[in-house]
């Protein structure tokens, strides 16, 4: 493993108690960063911190990213514990039910959009002030290949992730005059607990679309993330980085 230099950096990762978020937390800590793990699930958050160990440069905070007040409280906790945030990874998300568009309920649509898109907006908005004041920052939003192609039976998820790509590009242009990089990743599916929300038919469909013939591993995502949030990523901004195993056509 190449050691990306994140010494002196303070990172917030949402949805960090498991899956992609937890893999990124481990990788960032190994690279020298102090990491605040945000998650809505207090039990899983405690287990994640226990796994990281008492000596790790990490702490956890129960945060609901769909609630601006909860995000403000989480940010205050990070500032008090460490200092201003220099790295933000907006990762928290849900898949939603595997249904045809005309079968989607109002409640299911709202739940996916609120977390997968609006929660990303809230996270970006919360930290961008600190980053602009410092003239430095790195934001990575977790989108999806579904946001590029639109998966059938996943209209809300696909729409939300497409929105994340556009949000990323818009914010990146607004702060391009500063050393603030705002990018997103567009991975194929990783075998995490999000699969519990999907039908087997939908999982099989996603796998069939990946030329590499397997799902992406969370450590592979964390490896790309580590460079994206580093000072070495000094020019690229507003980009969508492919992690789709060859599926992406653009």
Is residue 157 part of the annotated active site? The answer reads: yes
Q: Looking at 122, 157, 205, 250, which residue is catalytic?
A: 157
State the first-to-last Cα distance of the chain, in angstroms, to the nearest integer. 28
Phi, psi of 89 (to 5 degrees): -115, 110
**Helix (H, G, I), strand (E, B), or coil: what is residue 177?**
coil
What are the E-state strand segments in the chain? 10-14, 34-39, 58-62, 87-90, 136-142, 179-187, 240-243
* Distance set, CA 21 to CA 76, 101, 135, 178, 204 (Å): 20, 29, 26, 27, 24
Q: Which of 61, 52, 51 minimizes the C-alpha distance to 33?
A: 52
Element at 194 (helix H, strand E) = none
Please tell me the distance from the alpha carbon of residue 165 to that of residue 188, in angstroms, as a whole number.
Answer: 15
**Nearby residues of 86 by Cβ (< 8 Å), 6 or more positions away:** 9, 10, 11, 131, 134, 136, 137, 138
Catalytic residues: 157
């Amino acid at each position: 493993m190449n050691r990306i230099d994140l010494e002196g950096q303070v990172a917030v990762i949402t949805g960090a108690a498991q899956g992609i978020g937890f893999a990124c937390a481990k990788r960032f800590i190994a690279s020298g960063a102090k990491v605040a793990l945000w998650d809505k699930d207090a039990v899983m958050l405690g287990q994640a911190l226990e796994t990281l160990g008492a000596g790790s440069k990490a702490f956890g905070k129960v945060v609901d990213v769909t609630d601006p007040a909860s995000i403000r409280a989480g940010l205050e906790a990070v500032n008090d514990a460490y200092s201003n945030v220099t790295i933000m990874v907006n990762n928290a998300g849900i898949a939603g039910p595997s249904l045809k568009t005309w079968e989607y309920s109002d409640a299911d649509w709202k739940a996916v959009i609120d977390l997968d898109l609006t929660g990303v907006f809230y996270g970006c908005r919360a930290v961008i002030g600190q980053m602009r004041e410092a003239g430095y920052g790195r934001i990575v939003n977790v989108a999806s290949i579904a946001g590029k192609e639109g998966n059938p039976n996943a209209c809300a998820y696909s729409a939300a992730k497409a929105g994340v790509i556009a949000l990323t590009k818009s914010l990146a242009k607004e702060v391009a005059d500063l050393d603030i990089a705002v990018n997103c990743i567009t991975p194929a599916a990783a075998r995490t607990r999000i699969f519990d929300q999907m039908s087997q038919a939908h999982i099989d469909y996603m796998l069939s679309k990946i030329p590499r013939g397997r799902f992406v591993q969370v450590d592979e995502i964390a490896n790309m993330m580590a460079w994206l949030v580093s000072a070495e990523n000094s020019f690229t901004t507003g980009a969508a980085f492919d992690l789709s195993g060859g599926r992406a056509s653009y």
